[in-house]
């Protein structure tokens, strides 16, 4: 892993592909050879026709730059960039699971403790805390929200 400031690349060998970006520039600038001029008697019928579109002789510079930028971004994305790779997340690593029957009870206990912490934080900040279960109609939550807002507006 290569670390550059706050960035790191999980697949730094993909950055070697940036060497081909000038080759892409050269390939995009190549114009095809001019077609051979062959006289054909029936072509006289086509002389009066006007074409709506003309094919440009060269690729416009803005299109070349756009294609180069896209190629560079694809190469950088394939190198798997990481932001702040030294920062470790809490709870990262292996997990030791006891009996499967206890997993649900442990989860519910941690969930309720987390909800209680959020409710205590909301009370300390002077906010209301409400829980809405998505298996119930939204009218219940909207009514509770309306009542809470109307009670605050009376003050």
pLDDT of 32-58, one tens digit each? Answer: 656 666 666 666 666 666 666 666 667
Task: Give residue 122's Cα distance to chain centre.
Answer: 32
Q: Which domain holds residue 104?
A: 100-153
Q: What is the pLDDT of residue 81?
A: 83
Side-by-side strand order, sheet with 81-83:
2-4, 7-9, 81-83
Number of domains in the chain: 2
User: Does residue 148 fall inside a structural domain?
Assistant: yes
Question: Are residues 56 and 20 part of one domain?
Answer: yes
82 falls in which pLDDT band (50, 70, 90)? confident
99 falls in which pLDDT band (50, 70, 90)? confident
Judge if pTM exceeds 0.75.
no
Q: What is the pLDDT of residue 113?
A: 95
- Which residue has 């709506």 as its token pair? 52
User: Does residue 140 fall inside a structural domain?
Assistant: yes
User: Does residue 91 fall inside a structural domain?
Assistant: no
């Amino acid at each position: 892993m290569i670390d550059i400031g706050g960035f790191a690349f999980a697949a730094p060998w993909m950055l070697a592909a940036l060497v081909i970006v000038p080759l892409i520039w050269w390939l995009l600038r190549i114009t095809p050879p001019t077609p051979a001029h062959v006289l054909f008697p029936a072509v006289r019928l086509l002389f009066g026709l006007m074409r709506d579109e003309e094919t440009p002789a060269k690729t416009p510079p803005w299109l070349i730059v756009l294609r180069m930028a896209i190629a560079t971004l694809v190469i950088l994305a394939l190198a798997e960039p990481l932001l702040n790779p030294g920062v470790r997340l809490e709870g990262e690593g292996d997990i030791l699971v006891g009996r499967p029957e206890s997993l649900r009870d442990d989860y519910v206990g941690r969930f309720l403790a987390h909800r209680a912490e959020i409710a205590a934080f909301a009370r300390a900040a002077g906010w209301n805390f409400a829980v809405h279960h998505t298996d119930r109609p939204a009218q219940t939550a909207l009514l509770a929200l309306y009542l809470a807002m109307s009670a605050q507006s009376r003050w």
